[in-house]
Amino acid sequence: MKRNTWIKWIIVYSVLILFLVAALFPVYWMANTSFKFQKEIYNPAPTFWPHVFTLSGYKEVLFDKGFLNNIKNSLIVSCTVTLISAVVSYIAAYAIVKLDFPGRKFSSKAVLYAYLLPRTVLYIPLYLFISKIGLSDTLLGLILIYPTFTIPYATWMLIAYLKSIPEGLEESAEIDGCSKLQSMVRIALPLSLPGVMSTVIFMFTMCWSEYLYALVVIQESAKKTITLALSNMMIGDIFAWGPLMAGSIICTLPVLLMYVLSSRYLVTGTTMGAVKG
pLDDT digits (tens, 9 = 90+) for 195-249: 888 899 999 999 999 998 999 899 888 889 999 988 888 776 767 888 889 988 9
Residue 200 makes CB contacts below 8 A (sequence gap 6+) with 82, 86, 262
Q: Tell me the domains of the chain and their CATH numbers.
A: 59-265 (1.10.3720.10)
pLDDT at position 79, please? Answer: 94
State which of 48-52, 176-180, 202-206, 236-240 shows the largest mean pLDDT.
202-206
pTM of this prediction?
Answer: 0.83
Separation between Cα atoms, residue 21 and residue 71, nearest integer Å: 29
pLDDT digits (tens, 9 = 90+) for 96-118: 888 877 877 788 788 888 888 88
Separation between Cα atoms, residue 219 and residue 136, nearest integer Å: 9
Give the 3-state secondary structure of residue 238. Answer: strand
Rounded to the nearest integer, the mean pLDDT of the chain is 84
Q: Which one, of 40, 34, 49, 26, lies nearest residue 243 by Cα? A: 34
Residue 252 scores a pLDDT above 80: yes
Q: Which residue has the higher pLDDT, 110 or 266?
A: 110
State which of 76-80, 122-126, 234-238, 272-276 shows the largest mean pLDDT.
76-80
